[in-house]
Amino acid sequence: MSLHIDSIEPPQGEEGQQWVTLRGELDQVTTVCWGDAELSAKDWYEETYPDGHTELDVTVPAGRGTVHVVAFGGGEKSNDVEFTYV
């Protein structure tokens, strides 16, 4: 299966907010680019479910406006989803 983000919940929030969840095919993720911020595995909690989907619970890094969130791993790049700072 290829790296893919199905959803981001919630799609808006503020800097420092905990547990914004990325859902999808994310089991091989090594890096998440959240706007200009580059996050690594120390920046999220990962859980894989029996149906095969993976969730990454992330604490929102500094930023403003609407940013693109993209995952990288296993030589692949996911689609992007948007997160809006409020």
pTM, whole model, 2 decimals? 0.93
At residue 42, φ and ψ (nearest 5 deg) are -70, -15
d(CA 33, CA 68): 8
Single-letter residue type at 45: Y
Structural domains present in the chain: 4-85 (2.60.40.10)
**pLDDT recorded at residue 52:** 84
- Return the closest-CA partner of residue 81 out of 15, 1, 26: 26
pLDDT tens digits for the chain (86 residues)? 689 999 999 999 999 999 999 999 998 999 999 999 999 999 999 999 998 899 999 999 999 999 999 999 999 999 999 999 99
pLDDT digits (tens, 9 = 90+) for 17-28: 999 999 999 989
